[in-house]
Structure 1
Amino acid sequence: MPEPEIDALVFDVLGTLVDEPAGIRAGIRALDPALDEAGVERLLSLWQQHVECEQRRVRAGDRSYLSSDLLDREAAQLVAEAAGAEDPAAVATLARSGRRLPPWPDTAAGLARLAERFPLIGLSNASRTALLDLNAHAGLRWHQALSAEDARSYKPDPAVYQLAVAASGRPPERLLMVAAHAWDLRGAQELGLRTAYVPRPVGDPPTAADRFDLHADDLADLAGRLGK
């Protein structure tokens, strides 16, 4: 398949450029250092299931919009209760663990290389405040970073991808959405964006029915393909 002609790149952040579960695991271990790995994974799953469920409810109109900060606070409270932790300060610290996420090894160099040729837009379900902190912590460099908070919804709601279309001033077919989550790319496709899948250990792999414009091994491979 020939590489698409594009004017700008739109990047998912959580999972695609930073290891979100690793940051939350670190927060859970700090909350209760006595937990074994199975216990950490159980509490991580509790956090993730809560956030995913509540984001679905917001998209469906079953719950009024609330930011990722508040969803993380709810998830942290559930995890703390399950761990038997009662210190409010510890719960608040745990809630902020979603802002201290390590980048993948190829992230910084890959973004720098791609930024030499294309405008880069970050598009995240994280709130504006959280996005600022996690960008700084992970050393992410953008030409523009957009939060789903401005659409008062969550990906894969088309309204979130429309933020990138409006900010770029380009038609959607001239934008390339890059993500490690097939569900995210499907959402972008619905609005007409081109798509590039980059695998990550915490991502959502494509199914046999998915048809994305590009499949790259990592950001270096993506830069090489787009540089041809």
Structure 2
Amino acid sequence: MPEVAIDAVVFDVLGTLVDEPAGIRAGIRELAPSLDDPRIEQLLALWQQHIDREQRRILDGARPFLPSDGLDLEAARLVAEAVGIDDPAAVTALASSGRRLAPWPDTVAGLARLAGRFPLIGLSNASRTALLGINAHAGLRWHQALSAEDVRTYKPDPAVYQLAVTVSGRPPERLLMVAAHAWDLRAAQHLGLRTAYVARPVGDPPTPSDRFDLYADHLADLADQAEQLVNA
């Protein structure tokens, strides 16, 4: 166990606490019920590739900032076009599937347990409006939920992590960033936050060269480890 004390826990949301791919798959099935599973996976990949590419372009300054709602709508249009659907209402419904995301089985109980010991801060690339919908649909418990929209950029831009530092009023080394994405944790480390990797089926696993403070198989495991750091 590393010698580290924490005052608040900062959570990534998409993929870490909710199953984002499953929500989008469900939206694609609603759009075109006759599609088979391999085709749905192709369309899911099309959606994900668009989001990843356009967020990178925004980070690189190649296009103006657009909140996640706008990027989701662009992705939904691409998917709908790929299956020959041009109904605007159907496209809008598909775009909103990014807000109807189920929590992982351990998420709600794990957050409730941690919230009894630490202030919890959600930190997401989802827009403010999308984050509100995700939190409500999945039943996520926060003391504060922060969107990258507040700084008009996306993780892994340091400005997003600085949001959590500023809101907490604590030095970065007293915050524990939790994510299922190693890239997210590396960026948080660069700003001085402590880091905890939690394993998820859809995450970005650590490489052998990564050195995070905590490694957890699930949120109960994370809570067991984090509680030992109280008042350390």
Q: TM-score range by the shorter chain?
A: over 0.9
- Please report how far the alpha carbon of residue 72 of structure 1 lies from its aligned counterpart in structure 2 after TM superposition: 0.1
Question: Which residue pairs with 2:21 in the alignment?
Answer: 21
Flag structure 1 segments of 5+ consecutive residues without an equivalent.
none
Question: Which residue pairs with 2:163 in the alignment?
Answer: 163
TM-score by length of 2: 0.97
Paired with 2:83 and 2:187, the residues of 1 have a C-alpha distance of 36
- Please report how far the alpha carbon of residue 4 of structure 1 lies from its aligned counterpart in structure 2 after TM superposition: 2.0
Name the SS for the 1:176 alignment partner.
strand
Deviations 1:130-185 (A, max 9, x none): 00001000000100000000010000000000000000000000000000000000
Does the CA contact (< 8 Å) of 1:161 and 1:191 recur in 2?
Answer: yes
Deviations 1:24-69 (A, max 9, x none): 0000000000000000000000000000000001011111100000
- Please report how far the alpha carbon of residue 3 of structure 1 lies from its aligned counterpart in structure 2 after TM superposition: 5.1
What CA RMSD, in Å, does the superposition of the two structures yield over aligned residues? 0.6
- Counting only pairs closer than 5 Å after superposition, residues 121-136 of structure 1 correspond to structure 2 as 121-136=121-136
Question: Which residue pairs with 2:221 in the alignment?
Answer: 221
One-letter code aligned to 2:183: W
Question: Which residue pairs with 2:31 in the alignment?
Answer: 31
Name the SS for the 1:222 alignment partner.
helix
Number of residue-to-residue matches in the alignment: 228
- Counting only pairs closer than 5 Å after superposition, residues 1-228 of structure 1 correspond to structure 2 as 1-2=1-2, 4-228=4-228
Paired with 1:38 and 1:213, the residues of 2 have a C-alpha distance of 38
Name the SS for the 2:10 alignment partner.
strand
Paired with 1:195 and 1:155, the residues of 2 have a C-alpha distance of 15
Paired with 1:13 and 1:4, the residues of 2 have a C-alpha distance of 23
Segments of 4+ moved more than 3 angstroms:
none
Paired with 2:227 and 2:61, the residues of 1 have a C-alpha distance of 42
Cα distance change, pair 38–164 in 1 and its aligned pair in 2 (3 A) = same
One-letter code aligned to 1:194: R
Paired with 1:130 and 1:185, the residues of 2 have a C-alpha distance of 22
Identical amino acids, percent of aligned pairs: 77
Flag structure 2 segments of 5+ consecutive residues without an equivalent.
none
TM-score by length of 1: 0.99
One-letter code aligned to 2:116: E
Name the SS for the 1:69 alignment partner.
helix
